[in-house]
Every structure is written in structure tokens, then in C-alpha cells.
């Protein structure tokens, strides 16, 4: 080629949540049953969509309007519906003009970092949900800048570290919050959010809050939205229907812009995001038409609450099965549907293994783990896959120095839950004992 085509930032793009699937597929081809604990798709895990929701969607499929382009920002009635939903909470008030639809939050995340001046940074949590950290790092042509979520303090953010990193790194122009958090299942306490808003105010930063799991909390927790705490600081909340309905295949999510009228430069940034969408024409029409019909239906709230209760019970069950393993740092979860389980420092080494019955699976796993520089948690994850057929995601691939793995709380079948988490516990015990 005449020039090197690939940008420097491209090497920052990685998504282990899907990468691990390639490995699991190879093992499955060798005849092993796989338990998919890697991906946050409730529908793939058997969450049945109620008939009334399907009826709404199928009647929309008969409506000619569903086949049209829609306005660039999104369907007005839907934006009016979402505006009212936000405004009734009494926090920062918006108008339908402050909402911009995307083809899923994945699309919104890819765009939000793209138009930030190169060299300027958004600091995000670690462990990091890699769609954010990869997109931000690819924009900056550099590794992500992160603040630590602390596994020894309920996964709450280390606010002193956040403050100092913001203070001593003048290139940081924004703070990312994921609330409730993927991958830890932590819900930001109100006072923590208030302190983050105060930091943003002191250093004139914008806030970005990914709230795709906002209405998925359980066991007594409540997630506060950015709108409820932001005051007059500029901010963007990201919301969607992939998890809440759940309808991940709709590819439908939106941004809400807060306080753009008060901050000229931020307003220009929001306009650039709108223009970027205009170039594409618009986002998916049918799911937008479905939002007020589904979320405005009297059956929606009780349906979501019932699902949350079930997730909460699974969270407790997993805690009862893994919470007492002495070599782990385990936290109960209160939101979203993941748990991140960390190995205590020093318990992993490169000699540990699990017995794998099938010689061809064993040979494959041994080849994978023999790669130089293999992360110790990835090594455990590959062995777990080969020995037990359980597919989880290593935490080292979530921009973290910690070593552990992420599981989901989505398995529907009680017996499978017992099997999966007992197997994980046994695997940990066997693995740790093997390397002495």
C-alpha cells in the first residue's frame, strides 16, 4: 500500500466478551457442551418476551410507518414520552430536542468519543466495559485512563484517585460513569454520584453516564440517574432497551443531553453528535415506535420488577455458592446482571491446571495457555472452558490489573445454576491446589 492504512488507535479495539466465543466454539466443535456465561443477552439465555410485548411489536410490523426513515433525532412522540419520564423525577429538565436516538448504545458509544479533540480524554472506571474503554482509547491513540473500582469496598469507586487523576491530568475533559455497572454489578451510591458531580463542577468537566441498566436493580438497591444529581453541570446520559425490555436485537438506544443551554462548547459537541447522525439519516424506526407502547403499558413495570426480583435471587444464590471461597474477593451485586469475582493477590501462578478428560480438548487448551505473556486469569478461564465447558470472561480484558472473571446472572434453569456455580467452585479449588 502507498501508506500505512491503519490508524494507531485501531490496536485499542478489542472485545474479549466476543473473542472468548471463538475459543468456546472451537471446544464445542470437539463435542463439549458449553455453558455460555460470557454475554449479557437475556433473550439468548431464555428470557421469554411476554405475549403482550410481542403483540405490540407484531402490530407495528403491520404498520406502514415502521418501514420509513424517521427524523434524525428520533420519532417525536417517543422523545416526548422519554422527556416526560425524565422530567417527572424532578432532576434536570429536558425537552424532546435534548434526545438523540442511535442504533443501540454501541453506536452511541462509538460516536461519543469520536468528536472529542484528539489528545483530550474521558476517564472511566476500571474494570472497564470494553466498548467504552476501547472506543475512547482508539480515539485518543493511547491506553485508557481509568479510576479504580475497589473490590474491597463493594466495588465503589476510589474517589480520591479519581480526584487526583483529574487534577493532575489537565487533558481530562470528562468522567464516565456506568450505573449500574458492567462488569461488577455495583450501583453507585447517591453520595458517590454527588461527589463525582462536584469533581466535574470544580474542574469544568462533562459527565457521561451509561444508564442502560438503570432500571435493573434488586435486593433493596436503587440507581439514581445522572439527571437527578447533575445540577447545572453538562452531561450526557445513555439509555436503551437492549437490557430492560430486553430487546438487544432492536439496536436501539438514545442519548439525553443535560444543560446544553448553559455551556456553549458542550452545546457545540452535542450538535456535532446530531450532525453525525444526520449524515447517516436516522436510527432504527420500529423499536422507537414500540418504546412508548411497551414502556407506557401498565404491565411493563410489574413485569420488570418481577424480572429484577429473580435476578436478585440468583445474585444471592451465587453469593451463597462462591462468597465463602477463601482465595476470592467476592462482592454481592445489586444491579445489572453480572458479577466480577477476583482472585486474591498471589494465589494464581503459571503452573496451575485443571484435569481435562478429552485429550484433543486438553491439547488445544494447553496450546492456548502456552502463549508467552498469557494473563493468569485468562489461563484459568481457558482451563475452565476446557475442563467444565463454562465460558466466562477474564477480568484482565476489562482494562484491569485485577485477576478474575465475570459471570452473568442470566441462567434461567435452577439446575444449571447449581451445576455451573458448583463447577466453578470445584474448578477454583482444584486449580489453586494444582500449582503448589
Number of residues that bind ligand PLP (CB under 6 A): 14
* Alpha-carbon span 326 to 5, nearest angstrom: 50
* Alpha-carbon span 280 to 357, nearest angstrom: 52
Span interacting with ligand PLP, options 100-108, 155-163, 367-375, 428-436, rule CB under 6 A: 100-108
Q: Which residue in 253, 292, 335, 386 binds ligand PLP (CB under 6 A)?
A: 253
Shortest distance (Å) from residue 339 CB to ligand PLP: 14
Nearest to 256 by CA among 429, 365, 96, 388: 96
**Rule CB under 6 A: is residue 244 a binding residue for ligand PLP?**
no
**Rule CB under 6 A: is residue 105 a binding residue for ligand PLP?**
yes
List of residues 6+ apart from 347 with CB closer than 8 A: 327, 432
Decide whether 250 or 352 has the Cβ nearer to ligand PLP: 250
* Alpha-carbon span 137 to 8, nearest angstrom: 10
Nearest to 51 by CA among 240, 275, 299, 295: 299
Evaluate the CA torsion angle 333, 334, 335, 336 in order and state its sign.
positive
**Rule CB under 6 A: is residue 40 a binding residue for ligand PLP?**
yes
Q: Which residue in 146, 182, 217, 225 binds ligand PLP (CB under 6 A)?
A: 182
**Rule CB under 6 A: is residue 240 a binding residue for ligand PLP?**
yes
Shortest distance (Å) from residue 404 CB to ligand PLP: 18
Site for ligand PLP in 336-375 (CB under 6 A): none
Decide whether 66 or 131 has the Cβ nearer to ligand PLP: 131
Shortest distance (Å) from residue 242 CB to ligand PLP: 3
Decide whether 304 or 425 has the Cβ nearer to ligand PLP: 304
φ/ψ (deg, to 5) at 380: -60, -45
**Rule CB under 6 A: is residue 185 a binding residue for ligand PLP?**
no
Q: Which residue in 192, 215, 242, 259 binds ligand PLP (CB under 6 A)?
A: 242
**Rule CB under 6 A: is residue 184 a binding residue for ligand PLP?**
no
Shortest distance (Å) from residue 189 CB to ligand PLP: 18
Decide whether 106 or 231 has the Cβ nearer to ligand PLP: 106
Overall size of the chain counted in residues: 436
How distant, in Å, are the alpha carbons of 21, 255, 329, 377 from that of 374? 18, 38, 22, 9
Shortest distance (Å) from residue 215 CB to ligand PLP: 13
**Rule CB under 6 A: is residue 331 a binding residue for ligand PLP?**
no
Q: Which residue in 16, 210, 377, 411 binds ligand PLP (CB under 6 A)?
A: 210
**Rule CB under 6 A: is residue 129 a binding residue for ligand PLP?**
yes
Shortest distance (Å) from residue 181 CB to ligand PLP: 8
Decide whether 46 or 435 has the Cβ nearer to ligand PLP: 46
Shortest distance (Å) from residue 62 CB to ligand PLP: 26
**Rule CB under 6 A: is residue 106 a binding residue for ligand PLP?**
yes
Decide whether 212 or 384 has the Cβ nearer to ligand PLP: 212
Q: Which residue in 9, 42, 74, 104 binds ligand PLP (CB under 6 A)?
A: 104
Span interacting with ligand PLP, options 103-111, 224-232, 280-288, 393-401, rule CB under 6 A: 103-111
* Alpha-carbon span 404 to 109, nearest angstrom: 26
How distant, in Å, are the alpha carbons of 88, 171, 219, 284, 301 from that of 112? 27, 17, 33, 18, 30
Shortest distance (Å) from residue 213 CB to ligand PLP: 7
- Rounded to 10 degrees, what is the CA torsion of 416, 214, 252, 244? 40
How distant, in Å, are the alpha carbons of 48, 49, 60, 245, 266 from that of 303? 11, 10, 21, 9, 38
Shortest distance (Å) from residue 108 CB to ligand PLP: 8
Site for ligand PLP in 274-313 (CB under 6 A): none
Decide whether 135 or 322 has the Cβ nearer to ligand PLP: 135
Decide whether 101 or 266 has the Cβ nearer to ligand PLP: 101
Binding positions for ligand PLP, rule: CB under 6 A: 40, 104-106, 129, 131, 178, 182, 210, 212, 240, 242, 248, 253
Amino acid at each position: 500500500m502507498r501508506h500505512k492504512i491503519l490508524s494507531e488507535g485501531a490496536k485499542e479495539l478489542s472485545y474479549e466478551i466476543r473473542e472468548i466465543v471463538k475459543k468456546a466454539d472451537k471446544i464445542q466443535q470437539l463435542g463439549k457442551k458449553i455453558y455460555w456465561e460470557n454475554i449479557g443477552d437475556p433473550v439468548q439465555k431464555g428470557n421469554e418476551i411476554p405475549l403482550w410485548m410481542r403483540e405490540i411489536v407484531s402490530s407495528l410490523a403491520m404498520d406502514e410507518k415502521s418501514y420509513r426513515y424517521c427524523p434524525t433525532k428520533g420519532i417525536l412522540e417517543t422523545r416526548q414520552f422519554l422527556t416526560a419520564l425524565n422530567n417527572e423525577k424532578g432532576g434536570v429538565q429536558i425537552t424532546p430536542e435534548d434526545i438523540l436516538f442511535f442504533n443501540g448504545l454501541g453506536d452511541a458509544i462509538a460516536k461519543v468519543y469520536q468528536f472529542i479533540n484528539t489528545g483530550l480524554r474521558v476517564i472511566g472506571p476500571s474494570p472497564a466495559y470494553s466498548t467504552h474503554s476501547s472506543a475512547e482509547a482508539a480515539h485518543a491513540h493511547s491506553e485508557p485512563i481509568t479510576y479504580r473500582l475497589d473490590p474491597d469496598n463493594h466495588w465503589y469507586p476510589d474517589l480520591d484517585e479519581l480526584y487526583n487523576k483529574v487534577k493532575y491530568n489537565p487533558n481530562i475533559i470528562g468522567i464516565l460513569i456506568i450505573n449500574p455497572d458492567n462488569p461488577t454489578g455495583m450501583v453507585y451510591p447517591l453520595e458517590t454520584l454527588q461527589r463525582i458531580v462536584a469533581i466535574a463542577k470544580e474542574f469544568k468537566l462533562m459527565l457521561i453516564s451509561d444508564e442502560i441498566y438503570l432500571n435493573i436493580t434488586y435486593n433493596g438497591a436503587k440507581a439514581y440517574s445522572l439527571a437527578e444529581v447533575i445540577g447545572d453541570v453538562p452531561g450526557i446520559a445513555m439509555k436503551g432497551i437492549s437490557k430492560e425490555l430486553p430487546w438487544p436485537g432492536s439496536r436501539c438506544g438514545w442519548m439525553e443531553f443535560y444543560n446544553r443551554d448553559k455551556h456553549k462548547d458542550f452545546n457545540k459537541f452535542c450538535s456535532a453528535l446530531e450532525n453525525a447522525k444526520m449524515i447517516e439519516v436516522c436510527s432504527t424506526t420500529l423499536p422507537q415506535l414500540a418504546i412508548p407502547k411497551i414502556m407506557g403499558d401498565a404491565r411493563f413495570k410489574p413485569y420488570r420488577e418481577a424480572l429484577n426480583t429473580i435476578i436478585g435471587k440468583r445474585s444471592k444464590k451465587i453469593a451463597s455458592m462462591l462468597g465463602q471461597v477463601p482465595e476470592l474477593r467476592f462482592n454481592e451485586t445489586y444491579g445489572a446482571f453480572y458479577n466480577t469475582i477476583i482472585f486474591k493477590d498471589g494465589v494464581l501462578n503459571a503452573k496451575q491446571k485443571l484435569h481435562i478428560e478429552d485429550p484433543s480438548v486438553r491439547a488445544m487448551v494447553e496450546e492456548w495457555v502456552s502463549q508467552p505473556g498469557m494473563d493468569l486469569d485468562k489461563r484459568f478461564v481457558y482451563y475452565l472452558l476446557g475442563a467444565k465447558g463454562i465460558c466466562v470472561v477474564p477480568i484482565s480484558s476489562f482494562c484491569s490489573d485485577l485477576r478474575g472473571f465475570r459471570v452473568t446472572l442470566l441462567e434461567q434453569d435452577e439446575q444449571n445454576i447449581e451445576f455451573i456455580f458448583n463447577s466453578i467452585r470445584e474448578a477454583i479449588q482444584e486449580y489453586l491446589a494444582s500449582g503448589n
